[in-house]
Chain A
Amino acid sequence: GIQVEQSPPDLILQEGANSTLRCNFSDSVNNLQWFHQNPWGQLINLFYIPSGTKQNGRLSATTVATERYSLLYISSSQTTDSGVYFCAVKSYDYKLSFGAGTTVTVRA
C-alpha cells in the first residue's frame, strides 16, 4: 500500500512563530487531507487538498502531486495550535492511509 511519511515528528514553537510541516507519499493520490488532533483527542479536518494551494486563516497548505509531497504552514502560532497534525492520503483503491503525525507544542 501507499506509504506516508511526515516530518518532523516533533516541533516545539514559541507563540507567534511560523512553521512548516511536511508529508511525503509514495504513490499517486486522488485524495489528500490534513487533520488536527487536539489534546482531547478530537480529529478535525483542516484541508482537503489533493493538489494546489489553500488557505484558511493562519493555516495554509500546498500539495505538489507530481512530486508527491504536501506542506502545511502554520503562521503566527498560538497555544491552541498545539496537538498532533496528520496527513492522510488515498490512492486509486479505497484505503485512506495516515502518516505517523507531527506533534506540535506551542509555548506561551
Chain B
Amino acid sequence: NAGVTQTPKFQVLKTGQSMTLQCAQDMNHNSMYWYRQDPGMGLRLIYYSASEGTTDKGEVPNGYNVSRLNKREFSLRLESAAPSQTSVYFCASLFQLQAGVLFFGEGSRLTVL
C-alpha cells in the first residue's frame, strides 16, 4: 500500500521548459490537491480536484495546469517554467469532501534556472 506517490522527486529545468509532475494515490480517495512550499511561507494551494472529472483553482494557480486523469491520478503541468516556480511541490489526497485526513506524498523539488 504505497499511499500517495509523486514523480519525479527532483527536477532541474531551464526557464521556458515544460514539465509534468505526476501524482497517484491508491487509497480510493475522492479529492486530490497540489501545493507548493516556499521557505517561510507554509503550503499554498495551487489546484485541487474535489472529485474525478472536476478541477478548481487554489490560491496560486497562475503558470500551472492540472489534469485529473482518473480517480487515482492528478498531474500538475508547468507549460513554460519560470525561476519563481522553484519550489517543493506536494500532492495530497483526502477521502471525503467534508471530512477526513489529508495524506501527503513525499514532495518533488523543482529548480528552474
Contacts and interface: CB of A to CB of B under 8 A. Distances in A.
B42 A45 contact: no
B103 A45 contact: yes
Nearest to B109: A41
B41 A100 contact: yes
Contacts of A45: 101-103
Interface stretch (A13-21, A52-60, A90-98): A90-98
A29 to B, nearest CB: 11
A31 B43 contact: no
The 8 A-B residue pairs with the shortest CB-CB distance, nearest first, are A43-B104, A100-B42, A94-B50, A98-B43, A98-B42, A48-B101, A101-B42, A45-B101
Interface of B: 31, 33, 35, 40-45, 48, 50, 56, 58-59, 88, 90, 92, 94, 97-104, 106-107
